[in-house]
Amino acid sequence: MRDEKKEICRIFSEASHFVVTSHQNIDGDGLGSALALYFLLRRMGKRARVVYDGRVPYFYRFLPGSAQVLSFEEFSVEKEPFEVLVVVDCSNPARVGRVEGFLKEARYVVNIDHHPDNAFFGHANFVVPGSPASALLVYELARELHIPPDADIATSILTGIVTDTGGFQFAELNQNLFAVVGELVASGASLSTIMYHVFRFRRLEALKLLSRALHHLTFDPVCGCASMHLTQEDFRECGAQEEDAEGVVDYGLYIPEARVSVFFKEIAPNTYKVSLRSRDDFDVLPVAHHFGGGGHQRAAGFKITGPFPSVYREVLDFLRTTVLGSSK
Ligand code: AMP
Ligand code: MN
Ligand code: MN
């Protein structure tokens, strides 16, 4: 079997112009991994750009290189040719928004990801579903390339790890991960700065929005489902943006008996982005797949349209039967 890591190193060494991208609704793993790749490629003397179809949330702007991220429009104006498109932390091409069109233009598409439902859409696919974060795969690539992380690379990678492990709460900080974190800190990453920005650096509008979501929190003790929602009106009245709802879904699992947390975010009239989180043995990925989305076993999402009462009932009914069906 071909060694995908080695194949990616070969592509990285041979080509000279790169575009790096990640999924819409970007998170710390998508952005951290993309920026780490950007710094790595520049260390190799390559021309690289990070292009993202969306706006980088304000709480990730502490990341080195985040100001250099180009929007789809900015890159389109520049029209710089590229040979390689690197897609990171993204299970399928549709999730990169309008950047999806670049897949046809690129001579090579490199796919680096840890989602179990990855579509293997690249010419080279470094996909490890068991990995706690895509950023850890970028760390492995840096090792393979014999490039020791500098402070920028270390900060980017550690942000990816911190985000996707929920600050080392969702993945056990075992000896291996501890050793990687130790090396990244020794290379100049500040764990406390990263933790602060990823979990605590939130504007007043975001906290007002959180209080609304918590006000709507309900819990069904029979199936262990916690649910919250935010309407367009909630966003408007709090003066909040979509990014201000980051992390809201996690609160449902604060309830000791909760097995699943579901959060409905109205992103356009009667259009909901639904986030799912779970713990113990309950797998939310089939639920997300049922509604046309994807993700991981413990964190997944999808979009659904319709009036809130019917959307809510449909999702909760499906969750209830699936959660209860999975009970031992
Ligand atoms: P979120 O709830 O948006 O934080 O997403 C949780 C996980 O599910 C992440 O790994 C996302 O990449 C994934 N995810 C969310 N929405 C979708 C979707 N519509 N299609 C595929 N994966 C998704
Ligand atoms: Mn992600
Ligand atoms: Mn990830």
Q: How far is the CA of 28 from the centre of ligand 3 (A)?
A: 8
**What average pLDDT does range 218-239 have in this prediction?**
97
Contact partners, residue 286, CB within 8 Å, separation at least 6: 322
Mean pLDDT of the chain: 96
Give residue 50's region: left, alpha or beta (phi > 0; psi -120 to 50).
beta
Contact partners, residue 75, CB within 8 Å, separation at least 6: 19, 49, 51
**Widest pairwise Cα distance in the chain:** 58
Per-residue pLDDT reduced to its tens digit, 149-208: 999 999 999 999 999 999 999 878 899 999 999 999 999 999 999 999 999 999 999 999
DSSP codes joined into one string, 187-228 = TT--HHHHHIIIII---HHHHHHHHHHHHT-EEETTTTEEEE
- 80 pLDDT band, cuts 50/70/90, is confident
Q: How far is the CA of 300 from the centre of ligand 3 (A)?
A: 11
Neighbours of ion ligand 2 (CB under 5 A): 27, 29-30, 89
Kindly list the structural domains of the chain, giving each domain's residue range(s) and its CATH number in brackets, ordered by start.
Answer: 4-199 (3.90.1640.10), 206-326 (3.10.310.30)
**Amino acid in position 2:** R
**What average pLDDT does range 273-302 have in this prediction?**
95
For the CA of 113, the nearest ligand: 3
What's residue 2's pLDDT? 86
Does the C-beta of 303 come closer than 6 Å to ligand 1?
yes
**Amino acid in position 13:** S
Contact 15, 83 (CB under 8 A): yes
What's residue 327's pLDDT? 60
- In angstroms, what CA-CA distances link 52 with 18, 25, 67, 75? 14, 10, 12, 9
Instruction: Record the pTM.
Output: 0.97
Q: Which residues of 201-240 are buried (b: 16+ CB within 10 A; e: fewer)?
A: ebeeebeebbebbeeebeebeebbbbbbbbbeebbeebeb
In the chain, % of residues over pLDDT 90 = 94
DSSP 8-class letter at 270: T
Token representation of residue 66: 């985040």
Does the C-beta of 300 come closer than 6 Å to ligand 1?
yes
Hey, whose CA ends up nearest to atom 20 of ligand 1?
Answer: 293
> Which of 215-219, 295-299, 323-327 has the lowest average pLDDT?
323-327
**What average pLDDT does range 267-272 have in this prediction?**
97
What's residue 328's pLDDT? 45
Does the C-beta of 132 come closer than 6 Å to ligand 1?
no
Does the C-beta of 277 come closer than 6 Å to ligand 1?
no
Question: Does the pLDDT at position 280 exceed 50?
Answer: yes
**What average pLDDT does range 83-109 have in this prediction?**
98
Contact partners, residue 189, CB within 8 Å, separation at least 6: 151, 154, 155, 157, 158
Contact partners, residue 76, CB within 8 Å, separation at least 6: none
Neighbours of ion ligand 3 (CB under 5 A): 29, 89, 134, 164
Per-residue pLDDT reduced to its tens digit, 36-68: 999 999 999 999 999 999 999 999 999 999 999
Does the C-beta of 57 come closer than 6 Å to ligand 1?
no
Place of tokens 């809201």: 248
Element of type H or E holding 108:
strand 108-113
What's residue 167's pLDDT? 96
Question: Does the pLDDT at position 137 exceed 80?
Answer: yes
What's residue 233's pLDDT? 98
Q: How far is the CA of 31 from the centre of ligand 2 (A)?
A: 8
| Whole-angstrom distance, CA of residue 100 vs CA of residue 283 | 29
The length of the chain in residues reads 328
What's residue 323's pLDDT? 83
